[in-house]
Structure 1
């Protein structure tokens, strides 16, 4: 799951808020592309979506308590060990300037309704207990996105993974399942460009999963939406990669060309296995 969400993030990063013409010409899954403006993010490199998901995953398999300061500590540590572009500029500077989770919580203004809490919530959905998923997704959201939209989108993103991993129903009923658990309109088709709101990115990810049977088609659909496509792809592939109803057919090139440094492909594969061994029934 972490590998696939990283692929969605890295592939989508080349298309984030680009001109529709670029999407039309290059969204063919044949390669990672260079973003025309974000030149520091090289093709095949993931962004903050994946790095913060790693932090969440690492805390989940640790012996540390699931609490605000520990969550913030894991976010800070993940960034400090591997500083990378992709974060919003002010948040990047914020992480650069602080030293630990305590300082993070003292200085953060956690009132965003954007998609940051949803993009990193996927690993939480591997937990077996639905009540615990809601609790954990809510707590981690409140570190940075303590708003109804921020919390609800994070809970929905985590429950998407849970629904798919534990085969709680047909893929077509994913939206109805979420609607029964989380306030929001999760079960109608998505149309148009993806903006910054967490509920919109999560809604669009649900629609992509419901509409397609292949992981490659889901990824392509996420990018075809245009806008904040790397976040949508991260959320969608985290869940869809866990579904037995989805054909796991991503092109090999997206695996082989994904970054493979210290926290790249091999690290993601190892952490994926640890999550499955520890969390999944």
Structure 2
């Protein structure tokens, strides 16, 4: 799962908020592209979506208590050992200025309803029961996104992974199942058009692409075709799609092999993945 979602993040990063005509022309899965809006994001490099997901995955497999303090410390550690582009400018400056989880919690204003808590929630979907998933997701979400929509989007993203991992129904029914679990019909409503920064937008778009099924390549292209905040859409969707027995695992080798493979790249992601529940 971690490799697939990192591929999705890195591929989607080439198209985040790019002109729709550019997306249409280059969204071919033939390789990574450099984002014309954010050219400092190198092709094949994952962004904050995958880095923060990795932080939570490493915390989960460590066996340490799942607390706000531990979550914050994991975020600080992941960023400072491997600083990278892709974070929102203000949050990146915030991370650069804190050196511990304690300092993070003392200084953060967790009032966002954007997609940060949802984009990183995938590993928590592997926990054995929906109650476990929701508890762990809520703790991590409220560290930075302690708002109704911020938490709900993270819950929906994690539950999508849980639904696919445990084969709880046909992939086309994922949105309806989540809507029933969370008591909100919004998750069963298909998304269309560009995706903004709000977490609910990204997760609804991801569920729409996921529910269409077919193959991982088809899901990835569909995520990017929405335009807007597509790296987050793709990260959420491919995390779940990687577990679905109905969705062919056909990501092009050029994307898998072209994903960065430094100290925290493809091989490290695969090693952590092997330890997840």
Note whether the superposition's TM-score is higher than 0.5. yes
Q: What's the counterpart of residue 135 of structure 1?
A: 135
What aligned pairs does 1:29-40 form with structure 2 within 5 A after superposition?
A: 29-40=29-40
| Counterpart-to-counterpart distance in 2, 1:147 and 1:34 | 33
Cα deviation digits, residues 207-251 of structure 1 (max 9, x gap): 101113111010000000000000000000000011001011111
RMSD after superposition: 0.7
Q: SS at 1:61's partner residue? A: helix
Identify unmatched segments of 5+ residues in structure 2.
none
| Counterpart-to-counterpart distance in 2, 1:252 and 1:50 | 19
Whether contact under 8 Å (2:121, 2:158) holds in the other structure is yes
What aligned pairs does 1:149-160 form with structure 2 within 5 A after superposition?
A: 149-160=149-160
Whether contact under 8 Å (1:152, 1:183) holds in the other structure is no
The yes-or-no answer on 1:44 pairing with 2:59 is no
Q: What's the counterpart of residue 224 of structure 1?
A: 225
1:163 is displaced (CA, Å) by: 0.4
Runs of 4+ in structure 1 over 3 Å off: none
Cα deviation digits, residues 131-182 of structure 1 (max 9, x gap): 0110010110000000010000001100100000000111111111100112
| Counterpart-to-counterpart distance in 1, 2:168 and 2:63 | 28
Whether contact under 8 Å (1:13, 1:46) holds in the other structure is yes
What aligned pairs does 1:52-201 form with structure 2 within 5 A after superposition?
A: 52-184=52-184, 185-201=186-202
1:63 is displaced (CA, Å) by: 2.3
1:41 is displaced (CA, Å) by: 1.3
1:64 is displaced (CA, Å) by: 1.1
Identify unmatched segments of 5+ residues in structure 1.
none
Whether contact under 8 Å (1:258, 1:264) holds in the other structure is yes
| Counterpart-to-counterpart distance in 1, 2:212 and 2:7 | 20
1:274 is displaced (CA, Å) by: 1.0
Q: What's the counterpart of residue 205 of structure 2?
A: 204
What aligned pairs does 1:8-23 form with structure 2 within 5 A after superposition?
A: 8-23=8-23
Q: More displaced, 177-186 or 203-212? A: 177-186
1:183 is displaced (CA, Å) by: 4.2
Q: How many residue pairs were aligned?
A: 276
| Counterpart-to-counterpart distance in 1, 2:238 and 2:248 | 12
Q: More displaced, 178-187 or 23-32? A: 178-187
| Counterpart-to-counterpart distance in 2, 1:176 and 1:145 | 24
Cα deviation digits, residues 48-91 of structure 1 (max 9, x gap): 00000000000101121100010000000000000001001111
What aligned pairs does 1:257-268 form with structure 2 within 5 A after superposition?
A: 257-268=258-269
| Counterpart-to-counterpart distance in 2, 1:24 and 1:174 | 27
Give the TM-score taking structure 1 as reference length. 0.97
| Counterpart-to-counterpart distance in 2, 1:208 and 1:38 | 25
